Amino acid sequence: MRLPLIAVVLTLLVGNGPSVDDSQPGVLTQARGRALRFVTLLGRDTIAVEEALWAGDSLRGVILVREPAMMRFEYLLRAAPSGGFASVQATQSVMSPDGWRVQNTATLTAFGDSVLMQTGPDGAERRVRAPAPLLSLPNSGALLWLAAQRVDASAADSVSIPWIAPLGGIGGRFIARRTQGRSLEYRLSAGFAQMRRGEDGEIVSVDARGTSLKIEMMPAQPGVLVETQERWSRVRGGLLSPRDTVRARVGDAELLIDYGRPSVRGRDVFGDGVLGDSVWRTGANAATQLQITRPIQFANGTLEPGMYSLFTRISAERADLIVNRRSGIWGTQYDAAANLLSVPMERRRAEFMEQFRIAVDSVQPAIVLRWADQEFRVPFAVRR
């Protein structure tokens, strides 16, 4: 099925701006009319693609993201002489049964050392201090390419630049340092990503597998945006880690668990924590939530009725289920100060399971986690 994105890409890369010259070096002052295309991988699966065009002093791009829902980000950035942006217009759309639906918009305007942000349908305004800022959007290689030019323009071995994320992405500061040649190392959530660049400054690869994002990024071929959307549209929902719900009744208690179901996809899941995380969200995307209607007793504490988030800590020596008082949060928003219980889990080898699964055993009451070749049980009892 051909969707409106095709027209967007044709306008982006053909109808607006000069012809593309891929022979020019990747330097901000020279890369006029340069096409930038990237693909983001999680394990073996594509989770985002992007096509963008740097022309004159503007960067116009489209990002297609597969998770947590099939989303599209369109943006137009106009650069300032400082190397930051002068203005940004960005739109976030989500795929619905009736086609693309605009979910959020953002207009950013830089004034001296601050940025005026207008977001949402009502244009709510907020001003933040951010001299010569960079723009951050989810899974954008083109914006990383632009950030790398700022490092090239600096005489310092490391930089710390304001990073504005109006529609999601990594915000705060772009902290990067030079490594070998023109390659860089920059901070991401819970770790550092490696950006390998050629002698011409072009991005060869971005390796963020050592961070909580677990992703890789690399250049893509022309047409990747349209081809990927058509392929994802043939898959219901387009999601790699769909949400699932477990409902169970144990004695007088009702339990509900809402979680994301990631797949192994050829990865070593438990080789180092869980996919390298010392504390895991017990699923994917939004944090896993547990709701109970009666008090339940674990081995080392009692949980009162309510809604909680579940995290796990797994090592070679032990495995624990962490119950956190915060609910309705993203899986990366772990706050150890809000932990209520850390319950030891029973661990055993089991038949291989490609997609993560949570179940509730109502006969021998326990919360059961299964993934890859491992099974974890957390026995409990319902208090009267």
Residues of the chain above pLDDT 90, percent: 60
Q: pLDDT band for position 66 (50/70/90)?
A: confident
Give the pLDDT score at 10: 41
pLDDT top residue among 69 and 302? 302
Does 59 lie in the same domain as 188? Answer: yes
Mean pLDDT across the chain: 86
Whether the predicted pLDDT of 285 surpasses 90: no
Give the pLDDT score at 294: 95
Does 173 lie in the same domain as 56? Answer: yes
Alpha-carbon separation of residue 333 from 138, 163, 237, 279, 281 (angstroms): 17, 19, 25, 11, 9
Does 320 lie in the same domain as 221? Answer: no
Does 39 lie in the same domain as 175? Answer: yes
User: 3-state class of 340 per DSSP?
Assistant: strand
Whether the predicted pLDDT of 260 surpasses 60: yes
The CA dihedral of 333, 337, 340, 341, to the nearest 10 degrees, is 90
Determine, yes or no, domain membership for 214. Answer: yes
Give the pLDDT score at 30: 40
Query: Which residue do the tokens 């071995």 mark?
Result: 157
Determine, yes or no, domain membership for 273. Answer: yes
Does 31 lie in the same domain as 157? Answer: yes
Give the pLDDT score at 238: 53
Angstrom distance (rounded) from CA 303 to CA 297? 6
Average pLDDT, integer, range 14-40 = 53
Are the CB atoms for 343 and 299 separated by under 8 Å?
Answer: yes
Range of the domain at 48: 5-231
The CA dihedral of 157, 30, 134, 144, to the nearest 10 degrees, is -80
Reply yes or no: is the peptide bond before residue 68 cis, omega within 30 of 0. yes
Give the pLDDT score at 266: 80
Does 37 lie in the same domain as 179? Answer: yes
Whether the predicted pLDDT of 18 surpasses 70: no
Whether the predicted pLDDT of 243 surpasses 90: no
Residues facing residue 14 across a β-bridge: none
Does 194 lie in the same domain as 333? Answer: no
Last residue of some domain: 231, 265, 285? 231
pLDDT tens sequence across 151-205: 999 889 999 999 999 987 777 899 999 999 899 999 876 678 999 999 999 999 9
Residues facing residue 258 across a β-bridge: 245, 289
Determine, yes or no, domain membership for 290. Answer: yes
Whether the predicted pLDDT of 257 surpasses 50: yes
Does 87 lie in the same domain as 179? Answer: yes
Give the pLDDT score at 15: 40
Give the pLDDT score at 190: 62
Are the CB atoms for 170 and 145 separated by under 8 Å?
Answer: no
Angstrom distance (rounded) from CA 227 to CA 221? 10
Give the pLDDT score at 230: 85
Give the pLDDT score at 265: 79
Other CB atoms closer than 10 Å to residue 15's CB: what's the count?
Answer: 9
Determine, yes or no, domain membership for 218. Answer: yes
Does 205 lie in the same domain as 254? Answer: no
Give the pLDDT score at 24: 31
Determine, yes or no, domain membership for 36. Answer: yes
Determine, yes or no, domain membership for 358. Answer: yes
Give the pLDDT score at 27: 31
Determine, yes or no, domain membership for 370. Answer: yes
Does 378 lie in the same domain as 298? Answer: yes
Does 322 lie in the same domain as 209? Answer: no
Average pLDDT, integer, range 269-295 = 86
pLDDT tens sequence across 315-356: 888 999 999 999 888 787 888 999 999 999 999 999 999 999
Last residue of some domain: 209, 231, 253? 231
How many domains is the chain partitioned into structurally?
2
Give the pLDDT score at 275: 72
Are the CB atoms for 315 and 280 separated by under 8 Å?
Answer: no
pLDDT top residue among 21 and 339? 339
Give the pLDDT score at 352: 95
Last residue of some domain: 199, 231, 263? 231
Determine, yes or no, domain membership for 236. Answer: no
Does 253 lie in the same domain as 211? Answer: no
